[in-house]
């Protein structure tokens, strides 16, 4: 049976590794569809930002109670994987508790630490599941936010249930293992009592040795296959931010959040009109293929990484004044729609041997509505709130530039304002020379 288990485990590990690497390749290819953007300057500051925001969870602690719960899950996820390494090596070699002879008396202390983390993850995920299911947090309710309906709603609950099951599996596995040690089973080395799972041992009181071995093996397989499935599942889920939060915060734009990136072609034309620049007459100004963004290929690779990094927490939407006043705009939906478009393109590329075949769709119109992007006030509240430094506003601005400059589709009031700015250098319809006439009526 040991040899059969080794073979099955190695097959499972190989299949999981292949499926995960395949997904990583697709995601990498779709991100690289974006336009080039150089974000490699100031590496020291970038590293500090990543350590503070992604590793240190700084922005999560803006809400201390939620931040603590999230940190419990996050720390547990990172550190329990050390035990997963032992389980993987056990599965490959056919051994059990491979690290125990190496660590000696420290081994039960280490497992006890992992069990504390497992219990913390179990408690935190249970609380998060209750919060999602009872309507306590309005920004997580699909009845209020249409972008959370169907799969996103289920996704948020599935991952929490999966983590609860995985933590229960590891704790009960250790309890059954410890009980088998008490029976002097030769396959289960004496490691001493485990800190948390010892309190679960009464559950197995009265079980015969064969039943305990079967349960311990089932729990072992459930835990490790669950880890493999989790690793694949997160690549299809909002939980991809577990991995992408680190590069996404490292490559964040190190400029003030309110700073908008001008289009070089337009800036150059304006400078020439104002007489600031005087290029040679023979120099022909390059006309861009498109102003703004129509589809994801018109966005930068950082915009696309932002979309894959979105946690769907809804803090951006909860802070959005347009959304609060009943407009259709939801910054969270903008990021989710961008990711959905990337997923569709990824499947298209997969079906066409790595190349994208035009499907007649575009990000603006087929995924994101004009009404949504026109409602944005560019206040930057969404950018300020994001715990992993995502910038929904940049995508909104680029989509809006396309509608305004390429298709000339904006509200009539906007066109009037544009015309006034063009002729009067102000949004209002009066000559620049009359701009301060209002001051004449003030007391002297």
End-to-end Cα, the chain, rounded Å: 100
Where would I find the H helices in 202-330? 209-233, 241-250, 264-273, 301-309, 315-319, 321-324
Both tokens assigned to 307: 């979309």
Place of tokens 């509240």: 381
Strand partners, 364: 368
Residues 368, 353 contacting (CB under 8 angstroms): no
For helices 241-250 and 301-309, give the axis angle rounded to 10 degrees: 140
- pTM comes to 0.88
Query: What CA–CA distance (Å, rounded) separates 194 from 186?
Result: 19
Domain map (residue ranges) of the chain: 2-250, 264-277+288-422
Q: What is the dihedral of CA 8, 13, 15, 16, to 10 degrees?
A: 140
User: For position 172, what pLDDT does the model report?
Assistant: 95
**Which CATH number is correct for 264-277+288-422, 1.10.287, 1.10.1060, 3.40.50, 2.130.10?**
1.10.1060
Please give the average pLDDT of every successive group of 10 residues along the chain, which has 444 residues. 85 96 94 94 95 92 89 85 87 89 91 93 94 88 89 90 93 94 88 91 92 94 92 92 94 87 79 74 65 93 96 94 94 96 94 88 94 94 94 95 88 85 81 81 83
Residues 308, 251 contacting (CB under 8 angstroms): no
User: For position 5, what pLDDT does the model report?
Assistant: 87
Both tokens assigned to 257: 């959040």
Strand partners, 300: 35
User: For position 423, what pLDDT does the model report?
Assistant: 82
User: For position 425, what pLDDT does the model report?
Assistant: 77
Both tokens assigned to 358: 């035009």
C-alpha 155 chain-centroid distance? 13
Query: What CA–CA distance (Å, rounded) separates 320 from 227?
Result: 36
The DSSP-derived string for 170-188 is HHHHHHHHHHHHHTT-TTS
């Amino acid at each position: 049976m040991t040899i059969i288990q080794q073979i099955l485990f190695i097959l499972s590990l190989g299949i999981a590794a292949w499926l995960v690497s395949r997904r990583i390749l697709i995601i990498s290819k779709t991100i690289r569809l974006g336009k080039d953007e150089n974000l490699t300057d100031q590496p020291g500051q970038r590293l500090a930002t990543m350590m503070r925001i992604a590793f240190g969870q700084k922005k999560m602690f803006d809400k201390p109670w939620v931040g603590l719960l999230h940190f419990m899950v996050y720390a547990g996820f990172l550190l329990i994987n050390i035990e997963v390494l032992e389980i993987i090596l056990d599965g490959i070699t056919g051994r059990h508790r491979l690290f125990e002879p190496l660590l000696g008396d420290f081994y039960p202390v280490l497992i006890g630490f992992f069990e504390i983390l497992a219990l913390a993850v179990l408690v935190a995920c249970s609380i998060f599941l209750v919060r999602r299911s009872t309507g306590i947090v309005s920004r997580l309710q699909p009845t209020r936010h249409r972008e959370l309906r169907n799969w996103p709603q289920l996704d948020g609950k599935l991952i929490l249930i999966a983590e609860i099951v995985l933590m229960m599996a590891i704790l009960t596995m250790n309890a059954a293992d410890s009980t088998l040690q008490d029976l002097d089973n030769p396959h289960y080395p004496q490691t001493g009592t485990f800190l948390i799972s010892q309190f679960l041992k009464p559950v197995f009181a009265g079980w015969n040795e064969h039943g305990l071995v079967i349960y311990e093996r089932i729990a072992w397989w459930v835990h490790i296959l669950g880890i493999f499935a989790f690793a694949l599942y997160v690549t299809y889920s909002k939980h991809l931010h577990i991995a992408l939060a680190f590069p996404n915060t490292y490559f964040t734009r190190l400029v003030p959040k309110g700073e908008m990136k001008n289009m070089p072609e337009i800036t150059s034309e304006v400078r020439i009109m104002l007489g600031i620049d005087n290029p040679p007459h023979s120099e022909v100004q390059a006309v861009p293929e498109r102003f703004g963004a129509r589809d994801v290929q018109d966005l930068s690779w950082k915009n696309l990484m932002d979309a894959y990094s979105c946690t769907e927490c809804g803090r951006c939407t909860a802070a959005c004044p347009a959304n609060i006043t009943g407009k259709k705009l939801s910054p969270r939906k903008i990021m989710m729609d961008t990711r959905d478009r990337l997923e569709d393109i990824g499947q298209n590329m997969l079906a066409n041997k790595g190349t994208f075949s035009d499907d007649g769709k575009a990000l603006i119109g087929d995924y994101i509505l004009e009404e949504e992007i026109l409602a944005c006030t560019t206040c930057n509240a969404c950018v300020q709130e994001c715990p992993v430094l995502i910038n929904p506003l940049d995508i909104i601005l680029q989509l809006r530039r396309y509608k305004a400059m390429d298709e000339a589709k904006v509200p009539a009031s906007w066109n009037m304002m544009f015309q006034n700015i063009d002729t009067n250098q102000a949004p209002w319809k009066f000559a620049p020379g009359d701009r301060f006439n209002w001051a004449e009526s003030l007391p002297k």
